[in-house]
Amino acid sequence: MKVNGKSMRTIWLSDDGWSVEIIDQTIFPFCFETVRLQTMEDCARAISDMLVRGAPLIGATAAYGLALAMRKNDTDAALVDASETLHATRPTAINLKWALDRMRAVLAPLPSISRAKTAYAEAARLCDQDVAVNSAIGDHGLALIKAIAKTKAIGEPVNILTHCNAGWLATVDWGTATAPIYKAHDLGLNVHVWVDETRPRNQGNSLTAWELGQHGVPHHVIVDNAGGHLMQHGLVDMVLTGTDRTTANGDVCNKIGTYLKALAARDNDIPFFVALPSSTIDFTLLDGLRQIPIEERDGKEVSHVLGRAEDGSVRTVQLTPDDSPLANPAFDVTPARLVTGLITERGIAKADKQALAALFPERAVQAV
Ligand code: MRU
């Protein structure tokens, strides 16, 4: 997508041909800075400290992390160690494991001398595929937006509510939930996005709003609690989110707060769609609520917030009393029964085991 008119991806190989560059997402929307990752450990830190985040981009960064690891030490032991270190960075997004498994399956059988070169090529291929897959998700989701647009009076927008950032910043390009929105906007359809701020880390405020603004997509940022009210007043036509892991039966794990949006959508008869590449489907699980590990992050994300003061300085300020205990579950699970459909690169599936297996038969064989 474009930043100040210039096309960019979220991760790319440096001009030196071996180090990897990313955009630091921890300082958005106040600063735009790129960071050069030179070691596997740099990649692991970038993932755990959320310089990069979003399930697909976490996977892509881990893939390059393995390439950097192989450049330094291409032994079997180093391959296993690097995979384990990268895998431990964030527990919920399954694309991380998917990307590491894919890289290891390619690299492990090779003589060590050829591993580094192949790892870079495979990481680049994984990134290119992410872009193509998200574009295909965009095409399938676009059909849904077009259908709603047909029901609208002239000048009336299609109102889409989204949570967190499932935009191009969460992927290599296009985004998952935003891909249909960008395609609709580019076609001249009248789309408007309600952007949940998404406490505690404010991915909606700082990332989704920023990228929609860069692309010229009309939107309003709302507090997380506003969605239900807007739905009750007919101001939401569709909820469209991403996901960090979706089970074989269609339970959707996504940023904390997503479940409440799904409940409100159901109560108001509003379609709740989830956009996802098949790399986000965990075909080994059938019960999202009990089986998906939910990342518990530092309470400081709840008690403190980054913002720009009136004097222009960017500061972190405290919100809560000094001694208040803090809890910070980062994700929740929306049961499949609340999900209207899953928008994948192969089309839109019902959120159930049969429909997902029919769309991805080669992956569904892993199901337990
Ligand atoms: O903790 P994050 O920022 O990595 O979480 C990402 C999300 O939950 C996104 O909303 C997204 O839906 C999943 S990635 C496309």
Q: What is the CATH number of the domain that holds 215?
A: 3.40.50.10470
- Domain of residue 87 covers 2-129
- Confidence band, pLDDT 50/70/90 cuts, at residue 366: low
Same domain for 307 and 350?
yes
Q: Contact, 143 vs 131, CB < 8 A?
A: no
Domain at 75, CATH number: 1.20.120.420
What is the rounded average pLDDT for all residues in the chain? 97
Q: Evaluate if residue 368 carries a pLDDT over 90.
A: no
| Active site positions, annotated | 244
Same domain for 125 and 170?
no
Per-residue model confidence as pLDDT tens digits over 225-253:
999 999 999 999 999 999 999 999 999 99
| Ligand 1 atom nearest 331 alpha carbon | 8
Same domain for 93 and 35?
yes
Same domain for 88 and 150?
no
Q: What is the CA radius of gyration of the chain?
A: 20
Q: Is 243 in the pocket of ligand 1 (CB under 6 A)?
A: yes
The stretch 324-340 carries a mean pLDDT of 98
Best residue among 168, 255, 333 to mutate for probing ligand 1's pocket (most ligand atoms within 8 Å of CB) is 255
| Ligand 1 atom nearest 242 alpha carbon | 12
Q: Is 95 in the pocket of ligand 1 (CB under 6 A)?
A: no
Per-residue model confidence as pLDDT tens digits over 178-225:
999 999 999 999 999 999 999 999 999 999 999 999 999 999 999 999
Instruction: Please tell me the predicted confidence (pLDDT) of residue 5.
Output: 84
From 88, 107, 129, the end of a domain falls on 129
Q: Is 138 in the pocket of ligand 1 (CB under 6 A)?
A: no
From 76, 102, 129, the end of a domain falls on 129
Same domain for 163 and 117?
no
- Confidence band, pLDDT 50/70/90 cuts, at residue 365: confident
DSSP 286: S
Task: Give me ligand 1 centre to Cα 200, in Å.
Answer: 13
The stretch 54-64 carries a mean pLDDT of 98
Task: Give me ligand 1 centre to Cα 260, in Å.
Answer: 16
Same domain for 160 and 109?
no
The stretch 269-281 carries a mean pLDDT of 98
Which alpha helices (H) appear in 49-208, and where do they start and end?
A: 55-72, 76-87, 95-107, 115-150, 178-186, 203
Task: Give me ligand 1 centre to Cα 170, in Å.
Answer: 7
Task: Give me ligand 1 centre to Cα 164, in Å.
Answer: 6
Per-residue model confidence as pLDDT tens digits over 278-315:
999 999 999 999 999 999 999 999 999 999 999 999 99
Q: Is 89 in the pocket of ligand 1 (CB under 6 A)?
A: no
DSSP conformation letters of 38-94: -SHHHHHHHHHTTSS-SHHHHHHHHHHHHHHHHHH--SHHHHHHHHHHHHTS-SS-T
Same domain for 229 and 341?
yes
CA 31 to chain centroid, in Å, comes to 21
Per-residue model confidence as pLDDT tens digits over 86-118:
999 999 999 999 999 999 999 999 999 999 999
Number of domains in the chain: 2
Q: How far apart are CA 304 and CA 156, in angstroms?
A: 39
Q: Is 90 in the pocket of ligand 1 (CB under 6 A)?
A: no
Best residue among 206, 241, 244, 245 to mutate for probing ligand 1's pocket (most ligand atoms within 8 Å of CB) is 244
The stretch 342-355 carries a mean pLDDT of 98
Q: Contact, 178 vs 216, CB < 8 A?
A: no
Q: Evaluate if residue 338 carries a pLDDT over 70.
A: yes
Which protein residue's CA is at the shortest distance from atom 10 of ligand 1?
164
| Ligand 1 atom nearest 175 alpha carbon | 15
| Ligand 1 atom nearest 201 alpha carbon | 3
Q: Contact, 248 vs 358, CB < 8 A?
A: no
| Ligand 1 atom nearest 95 alpha carbon | 14
Same domain for 180 and 268?
yes
Residue 282 phi/psi, 5-degree rounding, is -100, 95
Around Cβ 153, how many Cβ atoms within 10 Å? 5
Q: Is 254 in the pocket of ligand 1 (CB under 6 A)?
A: yes
Pairing verdict, β 20-23 and 11-13: antiparallel
Same domain for 119 and 173?
no
- Confidence band, pLDDT 50/70/90 cuts, at residue 4: confident
DSSP 13: E
* Angstrom distances, CA of residue 314 to CA of 17, 177, 307, 310, 348: 34, 29, 6, 9, 42
Same domain for 222 and 274?
yes
Instruction: Please tell me the predicted confidence (pLDDT) of residue 367.
Output: 58
Q: Is 330 in the pocket of ligand 1 (CB under 6 A)?
A: yes
Which protein residue's CA is at the shortest distance from atom 8 of ligand 1?
255
Q: Evaluate if residue 317 carries a pLDDT over 90.
A: yes
In the structure encoding, which two tokens stand for residue 249, read together? 């039966």
Same domain for 28 and 87?
yes
Per-residue model confidence as pLDDT tens digits over 148-165:
999 999 999 999 999 999
Same domain for 173 and 316?
yes
Q: Is 74 in the pocket of ligand 1 (CB under 6 A)?
A: no
From 100, 129, 158, the end of a domain falls on 129
Q: Is 54 in the pocket of ligand 1 (CB under 6 A)?
A: yes
